[in-house]
Structure 1
Amino acid sequence: MDCRVVVEAAVPVYDVETPEEAVRIAVSKTGASLNPDLNYVEIEAGTRTSPSGEALPAAFVAADEALVALELQMDVFNVDRETHAGRIARTEIGERLTDVALTVLSVEPIPSEDT
């Protein structure tokens, strides 16, 4: 079975003034850490909501430092279970992003072309 896994990463960024700047720097920093080994991982700004359901920016900035929510998507091939695919993705990404909190958000089987 092949699966598409989305992992959320909490990336710290320093010396920033706006959430937009923090997201740009976090994406660049994450891409540099993952390349060239994991250049197939797609990096996007994460989505956050308040408890009342209001949309929030992907970055929280305080005192010129930010914590940015990013979603990292990768395909994992030849696994037995979806939980195994999530563990593989989290391990592969986590080995390259040290000191970054990671959580598996979703694991979806990729439909095979034979069916």
Structure 2
Amino acid sequence: MNCRVVVEAAVPVYDVETADEAVRIAISKTGEMLNPDLNYVEINMGERSCPHCGEELEPAFLAADESLVALELEITVFNVEREEHAARIARKEIGQRLENIPLEVLEIEQIDDEDDEDDEEEASSEESESPSDDSPSEAGGSSDDGGSDDDRGDDVLPEFEELIDES
């Protein structure tokens, strides 16, 4: 399963006069910390709202020429078992590069590629067919064990011949 994970980061910015300037600097600063290792992480302005009235606020809180900017970092995590696993991987990968910046997972969305699903279904059906084909012959004790014993025999037989030649 593949997941798209959105993580909120609180990025401190110093010596700024406006919220727009703080957002631009925070995006640049975050991009520098993530690149080149995580250049595939999308950086967007975060969304903040007033907890009491629900009014939408700017992504930067500005006080005394310093700012705390809310950014949303979006990363796609591949081959995970469940959504919690994707969240842990995203936090770890991003958190290793953004030292001392708090992170919170906002959203986890499963990504379904129809082509990938079809390939996975075909592969899983082939895998499930192979063991079921071998199972009846092994259970029945049939002398025609097919290619599986021949394949194993190719690996074992030369070693056995060497032992016979040494005796």
Shorter-chain TM-score tier: over 0.9
- Offset of 1:88 from its aligned partner? 0.2
The amino acid that maps onto 1:28 is S
What is the SS of the residue equivalent to 2:114?
A: coil
SS of alignment partner, residue 99 of structure 2: coil
User: Structure 2: which amino acid aligns with 1:82?
Assistant: E
Q: Is the aligned partner of 1:18 residue 2:29?
A: no
Could you say what secondary structure the match of 1:79 adopts?
A: coil
Report the secondary structure of 2:87's partner residue.
helix
Q: Residues 57-107 of structure 1: CA distance to partner in whole angstroms, max 9, x if unpaired?
A: 000000000000000000000000000000000000000000000000011
Count of aligned positions:
115
Match in the other structure for 2:105: 104
Alignment of 1:31-50 (within 5 A): 31-50=31-50
1:81 is matched with 82
1:60 equivalent in alignment to 2:58: no
Q: Give, in whole Å, the separation in 2 of the partners of 1:19 and 1:7.
A: 21
Rg comparison, structure with higher value: 2
- Larger relative contact order, structure 1 or 2 (CA cutoff 8 Å, min sep 6): 1
Question: Structure 2 counterpart of 1:38, which letter?
Answer: L
* Equivalence for 2:146: none
Gap runs ≥5 in structure 1: none
Does 2:6 align with 1:6?
yes
Deviation at 1:112, TM superposition (A): 1.9
Amino-acid identity (%): 69
Aligned equivalents of 2:29 and 2:16: distance in 1? 13
Q: Which runs of 5+ in 2 are unaligned?
A: 118-167
SS of structure 2 residue aligned to 1:13: strand
Look up the equivalent residue of 2:23 and give its one-letter code: V
Rounded Cα–Cα distance in structure 2 between residues aligned with 1:9 and 1:66: 13
The structure where helix makes up a greater share of residues is: 2
